[in-house]
């Protein structure tokens, strides 16, 4: 399947993508500069692909010695940036592995030795990835809650995310990421690689720390809107395949999101009607009933994810998030649906 196991020296390239990451990018590239490599691994190149940044990201990358690619035109998707990065690295040097990192992450120095020791002898392993944690979870209520998204059980991670060590032969066999996806490109690629017979390996150890930098509700909403758009986009692509990848998740969100949205609107409509009829007790009861149902569902989610935190407050907030997020996810799917009807495809939904 690969020439990697026959090579005495394995060549590694690091591809970092970013857009307006500034000092976060500096921390990322510094962690790459100090990465530890096991014997037999050669760090051939570090490539930074910039998606039209308007801050000092290019200057930061240049000062730290990265090979820079500034994309002159859109789409400014992470998928396109990663594709251009690994293909450029392949032109610079005959590489065997690519370590992909987002510009707002910091690589743990002990990850690569552990990853390489397990992946290199097994030619069927296409990817190795570890755990991602939030670097500043107390930065805002949004990062506090979203930090728990990274803390998933290993059996839930059938697919890799943005931080991953990938075998080049698997990238070549799958033709890399799908440039047109504005999100969800990582699980989409890992699914396609898996259908080709490759395996993915998750290590139960830290790989990166991440800086979400979500400080406002508008950022939180936009991030979830983008995820919903990706749900619909990826689900449609695999709808007629045996696996129907993400199709079930997409349909469940439509049902749950619609329930919360319709029930909330109905509750508010009843409350306003009762208030106009000078029946304040019934108006309060209408809102109270919806809040009671929502709180019960949130507590159920908090119990379900209880292994992710020892804090009951954190778990309850995460439970609220797990229910409320269904609404912006639904709007994201609806955005994709209406774009699809008009034969229009978005190229970017930013949240920071």
Digit-coded pLDDT (tens) for 316-332:
999 999 999 999 999 99
Q: What does 18-54 look like in DSSP terms, one character per residue? A: ESS-THHHHHHHHHHHT----TTEEEEEEEEEE-S-S
Confidence class of residue 2 from pLDDT cuts 50, 70 and 90? Answer: very low
Q: What's the pLDDT score for residue 159? A: 87
Average pLDDT, the chain: 92
Q: What's the pLDDT score for residue 1? A: 39
Pick the CATH number of 4-215 from 3.90.550.10, 1.10.10.10, 3.90.220.20, 3.40.50.150: 3.90.550.10
- Beta-bridged to residue 17, according to DSSP, are 49, 102
- Tell me which residue has tokens 């009762």: 274
Q: In what order do the strands lie in the sheet with 105-107?
A: 67-70, 41-50, 10-18, 97-102, 164-167, 125-134, 199-210, 105-107
Confidence class of residue 73 from pLDDT cuts 50, 70 and 90? Answer: confident
Burial status of residue 132 (CB atoms within 10 A of its CB: 0-12, 13-18, 19 or more):
buried
Write out pLDDT tens, residues 281-315. Answer: 999 999 999 999 999 999 999 999 999 999 999 99
Q: What's the pLDDT score for residue 284? A: 96
Q: What number of residues does the chain have?
A: 352
Residue 4 has pLDDT above 80, yes or no: no
Give phi and psi for 127, each to the nearest 5: -140, 150
Q: What's the pLDDT score for residue 346? A: 82
Q: What's the pLDDT score for residue 250? A: 95
Question: Residues of the chain with pLDDT > 90: what percent?
Answer: 84
Residue 253 has pLDDT above 60, yes or no: yes
Q: What's the pLDDT score for residue 153? A: 59
Residue 6 has pLDDT above 50, yes or no: no
The residue ranges of every structural domain in the chain are 4-215, 216-352
């Amino acid at each position: 399947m690969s020439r990697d196991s026959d090579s005495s020296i394995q060549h590694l390239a690091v591809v970092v993508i970013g857009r307006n990451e500034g000092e976060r990018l500096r921390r990322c590239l510094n962690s790459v500069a100090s990465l530890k490599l096991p014997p037999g691994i050669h760090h051939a190149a570090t490539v930074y692909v910039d998606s039209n940044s308007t801050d000092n990201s290019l200057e930061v990358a240049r000062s730290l010695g990265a090979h820079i690619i500034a994309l002159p035109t859109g789409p400014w998707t992470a998928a396109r940036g990663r594709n251009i990065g690994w293909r450029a690295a392949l032109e610079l040097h005959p590489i065997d592995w690519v370590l992909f990192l987002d510009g707002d992450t910091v690589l743990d120095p002990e990850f690569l030795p552990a990853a390489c020791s397990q992946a290199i002898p097994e030619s069927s392993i296409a990817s190795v990835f570890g755990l991602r944690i939030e670097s500043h979870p107390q930065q805002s209520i949004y990062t506090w809650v979203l930090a728990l998204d990274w803390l998933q059980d290993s059996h839930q991670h059938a697919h890799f995310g943005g931080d991953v060590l990938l075998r080049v032969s698997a990238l070549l066999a799958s033709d890399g990421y799908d440039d047109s996806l504005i999100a969800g490109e990582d699980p989409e690629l890992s699914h396609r690689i898996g259908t080709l017979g490759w395996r993915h390996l998750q290590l139960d150890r830290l790989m990166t720390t991440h800086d979400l930098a979500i400080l406002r509700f508008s950022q939180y909403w936009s991030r979830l809107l983008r995820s919903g758009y990706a749900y619909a986009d990826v689900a449609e692509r695999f709808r007629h395949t045996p696996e129907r990848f993400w199709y079930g998740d997409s349909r469940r969100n439509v049902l749950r999101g619609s329930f919360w949205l319709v029930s909330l609107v109905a509750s508010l409509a009843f409350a306003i009607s009762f208030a106009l009829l000078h029946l304040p007790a019934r108006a309060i009861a209408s809102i109270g009933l919806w809040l009671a149902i929502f709180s019960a569902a949130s507590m159920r989610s908090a119990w379900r994810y209880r292994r992710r935190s020892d804090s009951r407050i954190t778990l309850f907030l995460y439970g609220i998030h797990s229910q409320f997020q269904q609404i912006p996810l639904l709007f994201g799917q609806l955005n994709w649906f209406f774009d699809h009807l008009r034969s229009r495809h978005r190229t970017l939904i930013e949240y920071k």
